[in-house]
Amino acid sequence: MAKRQHRGGRSRKYPIWVIIVLLIVSIYSVVRNNDNKSNTGRDGYVEKNYKKAKKPFRSLKTFTGKVVGISDGDTFDVLYEGYAERVRLAEIDCPEKKQAFGKAAKKYASDLCFGKIVTVASGGKRDRYGRVVGTVITKEGINVNEALIQAGLAWHYKDYSDSDALAEMENKARVEKVGLWSAKNPVAPWQYRKNRRNRSR
C-alpha cells in the first residue's frame, strides 16, 4: 500500500525557527515545573507559593516553622503546615516603621531569624487582629523578644506584661543608652500610634 501523503504529494516540513521555539518552550516548562515542586528558593529562603492563614484560626500553643516575612521589628510571618501565620511578639513593642530606630529594629529582627526555623510559644493567644501573640526562639536558642529589648530596639510593653526580667533588661539598656535610648526623648510606639490617630481625626 502506498504511503499516505499530504496534498501536493509533499510531506509537511517546519521552518527551523519554529522547531527552535518549540524546543525552548519545552525546556522552560520542565524547569518551571521542577521549581514549583520545591518550597525553597535561592539562599534557602521560602518562595511565596504558600497561603496566609485565614479564619477560622488554628489553635496554636507551640509550633515550629520558617520565618518567611518580617513586617517590622515585632511582627513576623511564620510558615507552618503550608500556611503563613502572622506572629506578634509578646510583651514588647518595637518602634513603628516611620519612627526613629524603626528600620533598625526590623533589620535586627530580620538578621536574627528571617529565612530560619524558629519555635513560637504562644499558649494559644491571639490579639484582636487575629495574630498569634508569643515568644519566638531561634534554632540557636536566642529569645528574639528579649534580644530586641537588650539591643535597645524595643520597649517593655508594661500594659501587657509584668515581667521583672524584661523590665530589668530595659532599664539596663536605658542606663547604657543602647539603641533608641541614645535619643534625647524617645517616644514610645503606643504613644506614637495614639498621636497619629488624634491627628487623623
Q: Which residue segments constitute the domains of the chain, with CATH numbers given?
A: 51-187 (2.40.50.90)
Catalytic residue among 85, 86, 88, 91: 88
Count the residues in the chain. Answer: 201
Asked if 29 and 91 touch (Cβ cutoff 8 Å), the reply is no
Annotation says 140 is catalytic:
no
Per DSSP (E only), the strands in the chain are 51-52, 62-72, 75-80, 83-89, 92-93, 117-121, 132-138, 155-156
pLDDT of residue 129: 93
Nearest to 179 by CA among 104, 98, 112: 104
pLDDT of residue 180: 97
Rounded (10°) CA dihedral 42, 48, 53, 58: -20
pLDDT of residue 38: 40
Catalytic residue among 86, 126, 131, 146: 131
Q: Which 8-state DSSP code applies to residue 99? A: S
pLDDT of residue 46: 47
pLDDT of residue 6: 47
Catalytic residue among 91, 96, 146, 170: 96
- The residues, ordered by sequence, that sit 6+ positions from 143 with a Cβ below 8 Å of its Cβ are 135, 136, 137
* pLDDT average per 10 residues of sequence, the chain (201 residues): 48 67 63 44 50 85 97 97 96 96 98 97 94 97 98 96 97 97 95 88 73
Annotation says 131 is catalytic:
yes
- Partners of residue 126 on adjacent β-strands: 132
